[in-house]
Amino acid sequence: MFSFGDPAVRQFGGVGMMVGPPRLELEATSADAFSAIGETADRARDVAAQWAASEGRRQPPACRIQIASSPPAHAGLGSGTQLALSVAAALDAFVERRRRSGVELAQAVGRAERSAVGTHGFSTGGLLVDPGKAGEDRVASVERRIDFPAPWRILLITDVRQRGLSGSAERSAFAELPPVPRGVTAELREEVDQRVLPACATADFPTFSAGIYRYGHLAGTCFAACQGGAYASPHLARLVELIRSLGVDGVGQSSWGPTLFSVLQGEEEAKALAAELQRRDELKGHTFTVTAGDNVGAVVEVVESEGVTEE
Residue 306 confidence (pLDDT): 56
DSSP 297: -
- pLDDT, residue 310, reads 42
Which residue, 77, 18, 92, 44, is CA-closest to 101?
A: 92
Residue 5 lies in a domain: no
Q: Are residues 276 and 155 in the same domain?
A: yes
187 and 210 both lie in a single domain: yes
Predicted model pTM = 0.92
**CATH number for the domain that contains residue 247:** 3.30.70.890
Domain containing residue 35: CATH number: 3.30.230.10
CA distance 82 to 122: 7
Same domain, 188 and 276: yes
Domains identified in the chain, total number: 2
Q: How many CB atoms are closer than 10 A to CB 46?
A: 17
Q: Are residues 80 and 211 in the same domain?
A: no
Is 6 a member of any domain? no
Same domain, 77 and 173: no
Q: What's the gap between Cα 255 and its chain centre? A: 8
Instruction: Indicate if 40 and 58 belong to the same structural domain.
Output: yes
Residue 72 placed within a domain: yes
Specify if 41 maps to a domain.
Answer: yes
User: What pLDDT is stored for residue 114 in this prediction?
Assistant: 86
Burial 213-235 (b: 16+ CB within 10 A, else e): bbbbbebbebbeebbeebbbbeb
Quick one: pLDDT at residue 135?
A: 83
Based on the domain organization, do 26 and 65 belong to the same domain? yes
Answer whether residue 190 is part of any domain: yes
156 and 287, same structural domain?
yes
| 311 residues of the chain, pLDDT tens digit each | 999 999 899 999 999 999 999 999 999 999 999 999 998 999 999 999 999 999 999 999 999 999 999 998 889 999 999 999 999 999 999 999 999 999 999 999 988 788 899 999 999 999 999 999 998 888 999 999 999 999 999 999 999 888 887 878 888 988 899 999 999 999 999 999 999 999 999 999 999 999 999 999 999 999 999 999 999 999 999 999 999 999 999 999 999 999 999 999 999 999 999 999 999 999 998 999 999 999 999 999 998 765 444 44
What pLDDT does residue 160 have? Answer: 85
In this structure, is residue 76 part of a structural domain? yes
Same domain, 42 and 115: yes
Query: Domain range spanning residue 94?
Result: 14-144+296-310
Listed in sequence order, the residues at least 6 apart from 223 whose beta carbon sits closer than 8 Å to its beta carbon are 173, 177, 230, 256
117 and 168 share a domain? Answer: no
Task: Give yes or no: residues 96 and 130 share one domain.
Answer: yes
What's the half-sphere exposure (Cβ side, CA atoms, 13 Å) at 159? 22
Q: Is residue 3 part of a domain?
A: no
Same domain, 63 and 94: yes
Domain membership flag for residue 287: yes
